[in-house]
Amino acid sequence: MKFSLEWLKYFLETDASVQDIAATLNRIGHEVEGIEDPAEKLAGFRVAEVLTAGPHPDADKLQVLSVSTGGAEPLQVVCGAPNARAGMKGVLGLPGAVVPANGMELRKSAIRGVESNGMMCSVRELELGEEHDGIIELPDDAPVGAAFADYSDVSPVFDVAITPNRPDCMGVLGIARDLAAAGLGTLKSVTAERVEGEGVAPDIRIEDEQGCPAFYARTITGVTNGPSPAWMQRRLKAAGQRPISALVDCTNYLMLAFGRPAHVYDLAKLSGPVVARKAREGETVEALNEKTYTLDSSMTVIADDTQVHDIGGIMGGEHSGATDATTDVLLEIAYFDPEAIGVTGRKLGIASDARTRFERGVDPAFLDEGLDILTSLILKTCGGTPGAVTRAGQPPVEPKRVGFDPKLTATLGGVEVNPVEQARILNSLGFLIDGLPDEQVGQQVAAQKADSGKTWQVTCPPRRHDIEGPADLVEEVVRIYGLDKVSSVALPRAEGVAKATASPLQLTERKVRRAAAARGLNEAVTWSFLPVREAEHFVDGADLWVLDNPISEDLKAMRPSLLPGLLMAARRNADRGADTLRLFEIGRRYFRGPNGASDEKPTLGVVLAGEKTQRGWSDGKAQGFDAYDAKAEALALLEAAGAPVDNLMVFGEAGAQFHPGQSATLRLGPKNVLARFGALHPATVKAFDLDGPVVAVEIYLDAIPAKKNAGFARAAYAPPALQAITRDFAFLVPADLAAGDLVKAVRGADKQAIVDARVFDVFAGAGVPEGKKSLAIEVTLQPDEKSFTEAEIKALSDKIVAAANKQGAELRG
C-alpha cells in the first residue's frame, strides 16, 4: 500500500523524519518496501517567469523566450509549447537537471542555431499528470526563482507491505493509529460531520443476507461532476491511483484513507429498487474494467429491476457508473462476507482494491460514519442535496471479548512489559479493558488490576478480525513495544554429539537424489497442484483430490502422480529449444484418504525426452530414448534407494498412460509394486503436446522394504583372493520368455559361487525353431578358498542347466 507523508500527517500529528517513520513501521511489523521522494526528481527545476516571447528565426513552431529565475540576468530558452507567452509563470529545467519522464539530462545547447539554456516543462515531463499539450502554467503569485519541489509541496511516498491479517491497516488511518500507539505522534481526531438528509430515502433491499449482511445507501441530487480538487488528486496519485472524476475520486479517497470501499451509481441509470441478491445462473455484467463476466448463483450482486450493476464488493458495472453528465447519484456502502468475496474473486479472476479489502475483512462498524464522510466529500467537491439514509440489514458488530493475563507477555513474547504500558498500548489500538478509562489509561488503576492477579477482560474493536485469543493480544503488545527489544536466546542444547534427526525416508531421498544427479539427470521442482485435465489423465481410477479453495483455477487438483508436472516442464523446455531432457523430481503424490484425510505417497519421477545422442558422422541421425533406458534408470535408482534389485520381478500393467508393449512394472511379489517404467503411450505424449518418443519412470519410495540390518556400520570390503572365471551358455527358450526370468533362475542355481549373470546375445532366425529364440548368458563364477576343479565347474554347469530347464529352456548343442 502506498501513501504520502502529507496524507499520513492528515491523521497523525508528528515531527518525525521520513527515516524515523520507516524504521518505526518496520519495527511494529509493517515492512517498508520502498520510499520515493518526488522532490529528488525535481532537483534543478525552478519557478520561472517568461519576460518576452518571440518567433524562432529558423522554425515556425518554435519560440525564443527570455526567462527570469530571479537572477541578475534572464536566460534564453527555445520552446515549442503553443501556450508559451510573455507574462506567464512556469517551470524551467536548468542545465544539469534530469527530466523525470525520460531520464534526459538537460544541457545548454543550440536548437536550430539559437542557444537554449534549459527547457520549459510540461506536466507529463515532470510526471505530475498526463497533460502534455503545453507547458505548466503557475498562478501569478508563484515565487520566481523558488525551487519547484518546495513550491509544489511534493511529499515523500511510502510503499508498505500489509500482511493479510491486518485489513484495518489497508487505509492511511490504520497506519497512523499504529504509529501513534508506538509513540511516534498523536492520532488526530477525524470525526465525520453528521449529514442530515432530505426527502425520501432510496428503496434498498437485501435478499442475500449471508453474502451481504448490511447495505446502507442515500441519494445526492443536483451534483456537478468534474475534476476532483488538487489536494485529493495529489494524494491519490501518491497512492498510485489515477484520478478519474470528482465522484469516483471521492470513493477512492474513502477507500485509501479509511480502508472502506464504497460505490457511486448514476441514479438516472437505475430502475426500481436496488437489491443485494444472488446472481442468476448465466447472468452477465460489464464491469468498469470494460470486461464482461458471466456470473453464477453463488455470487452476490447489486441489481435493479433490469440488470446487474455491481459484482458485490469486487467491482462496479460500466452501465451505471458516474460520468461527467451525471447529476443525481446513489451512494452505496455495504458489508460483504469476506469468504464469499474471496470465492467470487477467484472464480472470475478479478483482483481489485475493493476485493483485497473486503475479502480480508473491513470494519463492520464503519458504515454510518463512512457514508457521512463520503457524503461530505461529494457535497464539498460536487455540491448537491443529500437525501435520507436507508439502512438495510445489520452488520456483525458484536464485539469480541478476550480474557487476558498481562503476565502472558513475558511467557509467550519473551519480553517484560510493565502492565501499565501494556494497558496503554492496547487502549491506544482501540482495545477496551474493563475498569480502565476509554481514552486515557489510569496508571494506578492499571497497576492495581495487574497486582490483583485477575485476568483482564478486553473488548476488541470490530475492525480487528485477526484477534482470536490472548496470544494475539500478546502479539499486539510486543509488536508495539518493539520486536527489536525481544532478546535473541539460543535454544538449550545438551552436551555431546547431536543425534541424527533425519528419518529413514529422508535419508533414502537424499541417496536417491544424489544418485539421480550423478547419472546426469536434472532435478525439477514442480507444483503439487495440477490443472484438472492433466491430473485426470494420471488418476488411474483413484479419488482425485480437487481443492475448494485453490491458489488458481488452473491449479486446483492435487497431483496423483509426479509425471504430469515433469511432462509439463519438459514441454516448456522443449518449446525453448532444449534438445535433450533428462528430468527427475522427488516429491509427494496426494490422494483423498478415509474421511477426507490426506494420503501422501513419497515418490520419485523421471522423464527422458528428446535426443539421447546427437546425430554424428557414423549414422547421420540422432538416437532417442527407449524403454530400456527407462528400465536402466529405474534399476539404478532403486538400488540407490536400497531396494533388493536382484529379487525384483518384471510384470506388465504399467498403466494406461504407458505404451502397452514397451512398459512394465518392477515388483517384490505379485502385489508390491516398487516402480513402473517404459515408453509413454502416444496418446499421453499428444495430450501433453510433446514430440517424439518419451519414456518415464515412477518409483514408489514408500513401497521399498526397510533393511533388516539398520545399523550405521557395514562390513569392510574384502576383495576375493582368487580370480573369477566366466562360462558362456546358449539356451533355446520360448519366444515369450522374459530374459530377466532366465537370468534370475541362473543366478539362483548357486548363490555362493555364481556372482553374476548377464545376457550378451539374443538370436531368432535360421537354425532356431519357430516359436523359440536363443539367449546367450555369460555366468561369472567366483572361487572362495581354492580354485575350482574341472569336476566342480562341471557340477556348477549342471546346476545352471537344470535351473534353466525349469524355465522351459534347453541347452543348445
Question: How much is the average pLDDT of 56-81?
Answer: 91
What nine digits make up the cell of 347? 472464480
How many Å is the Cα radius of gyration of the chain? 39
Q: Which three cell numbers stand for residue 372?
A: 457521512
pLDDT value at 480 more than 50: yes
**293-338: pLDDT as tens digits:** 999 999 999 999 999 999 999 999 999 999 999 999 999 999 999 9
Distance from the Cα of residue 72 to its chain's centroid: 59
Model confidence pTM above 0.75: no
Residues 775, 719: contact at Cβ < 8 Å?
A: no
Average pLDDT over residues 599-609: 94
pLDDT for position 721: 87
Mean pLDDT of 83-101: 93
Task: State residue 558's pLDDT score.
Answer: 92
Instruction: Say which DSSP state 470 is in.
Output: H
d(CA 381, CA 253): 12
DSSP letter for each residue of 139-167: -TT--TT-BHHHHHT---EEEEEPPTT-G
Parallel/antiparallel/unpaired status of strands 204-206 and 274-278 = parallel
- Are 313 and 291 a contacting pair, CB within 8 Å? no
| Helical ranges in 48-171 per DSSP H | 148-152
- Label residue 356 left, alpha or beta by phi (over 0 means left) and psi (-120 to 50 means alpha): alpha
**Span 553-578, average pLDDT:** 93
pLDDT exceeds 60 at position 435: yes
> Alpha carbon of 536 to those of 347, 504, 625, 680, 700: distances in Å?
21, 32, 26, 16, 19
User: Residue 619 carries which side chain, given as an amino acid letter?
Assistant: D
- The Cα–Cα gap between 516 and 633 comes to 8
For CA atoms 366, 369, 373, 379, the dihedral sign is positive
- Mean pLDDT, residues 103-126 taken together: 92
Q: For the beta carbon of residue 614, count every other beta carbon within 10 angstroms.
A: 10
Distance CA 334, CA 141 (A): 45
Mean pLDDT across 130-140: 88
Mean pLDDT is lowest, of 25-29, 400-404, 451-455, 631-635, for 451-455
| Percent of residues in the chain assigned helix, strand, coil, to nearest 5 | 30, 30, 45
Structural domains in the chain plus CATH codes: 2-37+156-187 (3.30.56.10), 40-152 (2.40.50.140), 204-393 (3.50.40.10), 401-466 (no CATH), 504-703 (3.30.930.10), 725-811 (3.30.70.380)
Binding site, by residue number, is: 466, 472, 475-476
Angle between helices 172-181 and 18-27 (to 10 degrees): 80
Per-residue pLDDT tens digits for 138-173 = 999 999 999 998 888 788 999 999 999 999 999 999
Please state, in angstroms and rounded to a whole number, the distance separating the CA atoms of residues 354 and 656. 47
Predicted confidence at residue 562, as pLDDT, reads 96
Say how far apart CA 247 and CA 236 lie, in whole Å: 13
- In which element (H, E) is residue 220 found? strand 214-221
Of the candidate ranges 24-28, 375-379, 587-591, 713-717, the one whose mean pLDDT is the lowest? 713-717
pLDDT 10s digits, 235-279 = 998 998 989 999 999 999 999 999 999 999 999 999 999 999 999
Q: Please check whether residue 601 is in contact with residue 591, taking contact to mean a CB–CB distance below 8 angstroms.
A: yes
Question: Length of the chain in residues, anyone?
Answer: 813
Inter-CA distances, 278 with 112, 211, 282, 346, Å: 67, 8, 12, 17
Q: Report how far residue 429's alpha carbon sits from residue 479's, in angstroms, rounded to the nearest whole number.
A: 12
Given a cut of 80, is residue 674 above it in pLDDT? yes
Q: Is the per-residue pLDDT at 439 higher than 50?
A: no
Instruction: Summarize the confidence of residues 125-143 as an average pLDDT.
Output: 87
Q: Is the predicted pLDDT of residue 706 greater than 90, yes or no?
A: no
Q: What is the mean pLDDT of the chain?
A: 90
Residue 30 has pLDDT above 60, yes or no: yes
Binding residue positions for Mg(2+):
466, 472, 475-476
Higher pLDDT, 132 or 138: 138
Reported as a single tens digit per residue, the pLDDT across 446-476 is 555 555 567 899 999 999 999 999 999 999 9
Query: What are 172-213's pLDDT values in tens digits?
Result: 999 999 999 999 999 998 777 788 888 889 999 999 999 999
DSSP annotation of 108 reads E
Closest by CA position to 100, among listed 54, 162, 36, 51: 36
Q: In what order do the strands lie in the sheet with 31-36?
A: 2-4, 157-161, 31-36
pLDDT at 510 over 80: yes
CA-based nearest residue to 548, from 529, 564, 563: 529
- Joined together, the cell numbers standing for residue 258 give 479509511
Judged against a pLDDT cut of 70, whether residue 423 lies above it is answered with yes
Residue 539's identity, in one-letter code, is V
Strand partners of residue 602: 588
CA–CA distance, 65 with 87 (Å, rounded to integer): 11
Instruction: Locate 216 and state its grid cell.
Output: 446502507
The β-bridge partners of 433 are 458
Task: Specify which residues 60 forms β-bridges with.
Answer: none
Contact between 734 and 810 (Cβ < 8 Å):
no
Structure confidence at residue 541 as a pLDDT band (50, 70, 90):
confident
